[in-house]
Amino acid sequence: MTQHDSARAAVFSAGSWGTAVAKILADAGTSVIVHARRGEIAVAINTQHRNPGYFPDIALPAALTATTDPAAALAGADFLVLSIPAQTLRTNLATWAPHIGDDTVIVSLMKGIEQSSHLRASQIITEMTGVSADRVAVLSGPNLAREIMNGQPAAATIACPDEDAARRFQKACHTGYFRPYTSADVAGCELGGAVKNVIALAVGIASGMGLGHNAQAMLITRGLAETTRLAVAMGAHPATLAGLAGLGDLVATCSSPLSRNRTFGTLLGRGLSVEEATAATRQTTEGVKSAEAILALAHAHDVEMPITDVISALLNGKVTLDQATAALMHRPPKPER
């Protein structure tokens, strides 16, 4: 595709989703540099055009480069793309913020809620960097990194208060296999992406316990209902939750064995402890980290979220698997809303 002369993106960092988005950007003709925490990963990307930590079997575009120096990565960047665990965002931004350009648009790929403050990623970004909200965008949708690395079709939503900024990033990441849409609903996209991880834990648990597709479909459907209730209470548009960043992301994350949240839940459903499941998955599982914070948001906005409530209790050892199942199935019957 044609190179975008004015578009340069710095992707922080070199995890699975960061690598996938870096590849998308490079394939779209955008100049991309990845900030890797580990020197050996940066060297491998630069010399072997591979990320041995996540996708050793997939060649990266030759033009895609990497560095361990945040200042070098951010020099002249039009876009700073953040793909790090939500719970480390604040600390990392304290180090990176001085290197962010005055006109750089910051794009969050994160799908978690900070445990201590209950803030969304975009809110932490504006707080820690001092940039205005119209320079902060969110990319969210049904995007399993392995499928995208294989060039399989996918789509996502880019939400930003500044429509022009959203369109510019849309152009920077539009490829033959990746179709981005734009939106102004940042809160809706972020909450859809965060809560779906908790619902995916529930679906995984059901699968691990041997429950059937009826139970899993019930959890997905009612999970969407409680996600929408919270998002709308926090100012989101309900249509966002019916789109790629809501229903689309929810279905992909709850249905695919490639989903780390569903996989984590499956391990819990088979009887592993939270500690054992964490050791087995070896990657950040945002639903585990964010469940309690999401429940706190629900309480603050007087929103009923029974699935999130039960999953939070289970993760904190307050209920057993059998008690969690009973809690969901024995709730009083009521009209579907």
Q: Which amino acid is at 337?
A: R
CA distance 181 to 185: 12
| DSSP class per residue in 175-230 | -SSEEEEEES-HHHHHHHHHHHHHHHHHHHHHHHTT--HHHHHHHHHHHHHHHHHH
Which two three-digit tokens encode residue 76?
């002249």
Given the residues 196, 289, 318, 334, select the one marked as catalytic.
196
Say if residues 87 and 93 touch (Cβ distance below 8 Å). no
Encoded tokens for 100: 């962010």
Cβ contact 235:161 at 8 Å: no
Closest to 144 measured CA to CA, from 231, 276, 258: 258
d(CA 294, CA 305) in angstroms, rounded, equals 9
> Are 154 and 142 spatial neighbours (Cβ–Cβ below 8 Å)?
yes
Alpha-helical runs (H) found in 105-185: 121-129, 145-149, 163-172
Give the amino acid at 159. Answer: A
Kindly state the helix (H) or strand (E) to which residue 8 belongs, with its residue range. Answer: strand 8-12
123: CB partners within 8 A, 6+ apart: none
Q: Which residue has the tokens 């019957």?
A: 333
Residue 162 DSSP class: S
User: Would you call 318 a catalytic residue per the annotation?
Assistant: no
Look at residue 274 and give its three-state secondary structure: helix
Q: Which parts of 23-153 are beta strand (E)?
A: 31-35, 65-67, 79-82, 105-108, 136-140
Contact 112, 290 (CB under 8 A): yes
Residues with catalytic annotation?
196
